[in-house]
Amino acid sequence: MSLEILEVNGLATIQDAGRTGWRKFGVPASGPMDWFAFRAANRLAGNDLNAAALEIGMGGIVLRALRDCVIAVAGVGYSLSVYIWDFPLWSSYYVRGGWTVRLDKLDSGMWAYLAVSGGVQTPPVLGSASTYLRGPFGGFDGRRLQTGDVLKCGAPSRPLTDLAARTLPAEARPAYSDTPTLDVIMGPQDKYFTDESTAAFLAHDYTVSPTSDRMGCRLEGPALTHRGGTELLSEGMTMGAIQVPAGGQPIIMMADCPTTGGYPKIGTVISADLPLLAQCVPGRSKIRFRRTTVAKAQKKYREMMSKLERIVEE
C-alpha cells in the first residue's frame, strides 16, 4: 500500500494529531491547522483519529495509488477528482492501484486533509509523525512533500469496500465562513490593555494578514493599546492564544507556534472555533471575536467531537 506524489503546487506535509510531551524543551506541537477536517478525514478512512495524513495548503497536489486503497478528503477550498470522476470532499472513495487522485485549489478556504486507509506510515520523531519544517524533523524527512516521494501506508482497519463511499453530512461539519465569529476566552493578560482597546477588540472586524502561516495568524484591524509594559517574562502558550506585541496588531498562535512567548495575551480562541480560523483566507477573510467562558467552550468542543460520529454510508 503506498501513494506516489506526481505533482505538488502548494505546501503539502504529513501531520498527525501533534507532538506532545516535549513542549517543556521548546518543541512545538505542530499537527493539523484544522483539527476537525483532519480527524474527519481519518474517521472516514477508518483510521485512528490521530493517524498520520497529508495536509495540503496553498495549492494543489496529484498523487497515484500504487495499490488499491481507500482515501478520504476533508477540508475547505479544494476540488477533488479520482481517476476520471469529480467528487465532493468530506467523503471516502475506493481508489484502484494506478489511479490518480487530484486536488485543485479553489478560491476559498486554505487546507485539505487527505487520509488513506491504514494511515501514512513514517518513522516517528519525538513520538509523532507531524512535520515541523523549521526543525526540520518529523513527517517525510522533516520537509514538505515533493514530486517523486512515495508514501508508505498501513493496513486498513476493515475491508476496503466497507470503508469506501462514506460521508460526513454537511450539517455535521463546522460552519466555515469568510466572516466567522470566533469565541474567545479572555486573559490571562486582558487587563494589560485599556478598556477602550478591549471594547474595540470585541466590536470590530480584523482582516487576516497575507503574512500568516502555520506558525501564526497575523491580524490587521484596530490597534490595541497596552496600559503599561508591552512585554512580560516569557511563559508557556498554546494554539489559539492571541499575543499582542508593541505595535498593537494581534497575532493568533497556530499549529507550529513556539511553546513560549513574551507578549501579553488578550485571550485565546476556543478549540471548537480554531478550524474556522484555520480556513480563513489571508488578505480577504474578516473575523470578529466574541467573549465566552471555559465551560461553554469545553461543551462546544465535546459537541464537535461527537459530530465526527455522524458518518453515513452512501
Residue 14 host element (H or E): strand 11-15
| Residue with smaller CB distance to another protein, 134 or 227 | 134
| Residue with smaller CB distance to another protein, 257 or 280 | 257
Query: What is the full DSSP assignment across 99-151?
Result: -EEEEEE-SS--EEEEEETT-EE---BTTB---BTTTTBSTBTTB---TT-EE
| Residue with smaller CB distance to another protein, 103 or 297 | 297
How far apart, in whole angstroms, are the C-alpha atoms of residue 147 and residue 8? 6
User: Interface with another protein by CB under 8 A: which residues?
Assistant: 20-28, 125-126, 134-135, 137-138, 185, 187-188, 232-238, 240-241, 258-260, 265, 268-271, 294-295, 297-298, 301-302, 305
| Residue with smaller CB distance to another protein, 165 or 308 | 308
Q: 10 Å Cβ neighbour count for 265?
A: 23
CB of 246 to another protein, least distance (A): 14
**Amino acid type, 272:** A
Distances (CA, A) of 26 to 141, 239, 252, 259: 20, 14, 18, 6
How far apart, in whole angstroms, are the C-alpha atoms of residue 285 and residue 274? 14
CB of 255 to another protein, least distance (A): 14
CB of 237 to another protein, least distance (A): 7
**Amino acid type, 221:** G
CB of 85 to another protein, least distance (A): 37
CB of 2 to another protein, least distance (A): 23
| Residue with smaller CB distance to another protein, 179 or 260 | 260
